[in-house]
């Protein structure tokens, strides 16, 4: 495993973005950084600025109004970047999939690397999902726009 890859797996910084969810997923996501679950164990840090982040955690069905902002935040993140859809809403639109102001899952707008179903997923389930993402990074599997750091623009 190259040093780069090692470093990437060990230091996934997250940014969290609510795209119209009901807060359920958001509070569970925040609960994952608190003492009981403490995702800093994995080197995960919550970032405020998309420029600093590696992983975008999206909660909620994509409302029409938020779409542009979501895409903008995604663009502002430097490569390599990954997207985690947290909750059923972000996975498929969930209970709101038929509402006319909603796009549906995150993958209708930006590529997603890991889906975490649950309404809301327990913090444990979120950690499990992130572990799955890290697993995927260390293995050969690549999805979404992950180009494994091979296409570094400098």
Please state, in angstroms and rounded to a whole number, the distance separating the CA atoms of residues 154 and 5. Answer: 18
For position 65 contacting ligand SF4 by CB under 6 A, the verdict is: no
- Omega before residue 80 within 30° of 0, cis: yes
Residue nearer to ligand SF4 on the CB measure, 53 or 137: 53
Does 31 contact ligand SF4 by CB under 6 A? no
Strands (E), the chain: 13-18, 45-46, 55-59, 82-86, 114-116
Residues 37-56 that bind ligand SF4 (CB under 6 A): 46, 48
The span of 6-14, 68-76, 89-97, 141-149 binding ligand SF4 (CB under 6 A) equals 89-97
Neighbours of 37 (CB within 10 A): 16
* 89 token code pair: 């809403």
The candidate with the shortest Cα–Cα distance to 69, out of 19, 144, 103, is 19
Q: What does 149 interact with, of another protein, ligand SF4, none (CB < 5 to 8 A by kind)? A: another protein
32, interface contact from ligand SF4, another protein, none, CB < 5-8 Å by kind: none
Quick note: the x/- pattern for ligand SF4 over 124-143, rule CB under 6 A, is --------------------
Q: Could you list the residues that contact ligand SF4 (CB under 6 A)?
A: 21-25, 30, 46, 48, 59-60, 87-89, 94-95, 119-120
């Amino acid at each position: 495993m190259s040093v780069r890859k090692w470093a990437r797996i060990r230091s996934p910084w997250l940014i969290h973005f609510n795209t119209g969810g009901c807060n359920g997923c958001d509070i569970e996501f925040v609960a994952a950084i608190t003492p009981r679950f403490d995702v800093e164990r994995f080197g995960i840090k919550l970032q405020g600025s998309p420029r600093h982040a590696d992983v975008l955690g999206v909660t909620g069905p994509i409302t029409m109004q938020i779409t542009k902002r979501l895409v903008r935040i995604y663009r502002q993140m430097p490569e390599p970047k990954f997207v985690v859809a947290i909750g059923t809403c972000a996975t498929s639109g969930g209970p709101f999939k038929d509402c006319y102001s909603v796009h549906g899952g995150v993958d209708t707008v930006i590529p997603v690397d890991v889906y975490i179903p649950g309404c809301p997923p327990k913090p444990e389930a979120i950690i499990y999902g992130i572990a799955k993402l890290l697993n995927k990074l260390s293995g050969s599997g690549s999805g979404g726009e992950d180009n494994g750091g091979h296409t570094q623009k400098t």
